[in-house]
């Protein structure tokens, strides 16, 4: 199995909805391919966080840097995105 093959069946693998024979091939690939293993681990962690509905507070310094980066980007593009749904006027 190649990395591209793994990416095609990634969702099924993470969800546990994959043929056992294919799963064995995938497990062999993961044993020797650290980049694919990292992708799988990150997806599992993301899914787990969403399923648990946990809220994580960002560290204040990170939050401030993120807001500043977004404001800088908006200034370059003209204006920040609207909070209003598309199609609704001011």
Mean pLDDT, contiguous 10-residue spans, the chain (90 residues): 85 81 88 90 83 79 92 81 50
Kindly give, in sequence order, each residue whose CB lies less than 8 Å from that of residue 7, ignoring residues fewer than 6 positions away.
Answer: 39
Confidence at residue 90, expressed as pLDDT on a 0 to 100 scale = 43
Residue tagged 């939050």 (tokens): 63
Confidence at residue 74, expressed as pLDDT on a 0 to 100 scale = 86
Domains delineated in the chain = 3-77 (1.10.10)
What span, in angstroms and rounded, lies between the C-alpha atoms of 13 and 27? 10
Is-above-0.95 flag for pTM?
no
User: Could you tell me the two tokens for 51?
Assistant: 């399923």
Residue tagged 């962690």 (tokens): 45
Of 26, 3, 25, residue with least CA distance to 14: 26
């Amino acid at each position: 199995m190649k990395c591209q093959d793994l990416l095609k069946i990634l969702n099924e693998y993470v969800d546990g909805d994959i043929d056992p024979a294919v799963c064995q091939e995938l497990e062999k690939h993961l044993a020797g391919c650290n980049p694919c293993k990292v992708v799988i681990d990150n997806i599992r962690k993301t899914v787990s966080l969403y399923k648990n509905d946990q809220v994580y507070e960002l560290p204040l310094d990170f939050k401030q840097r993120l807001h500043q980066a977004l404001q800088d980007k908006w200034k370059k593009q003209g204006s920040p995105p609207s909070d209003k749904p598309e199609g609704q006027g001011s």
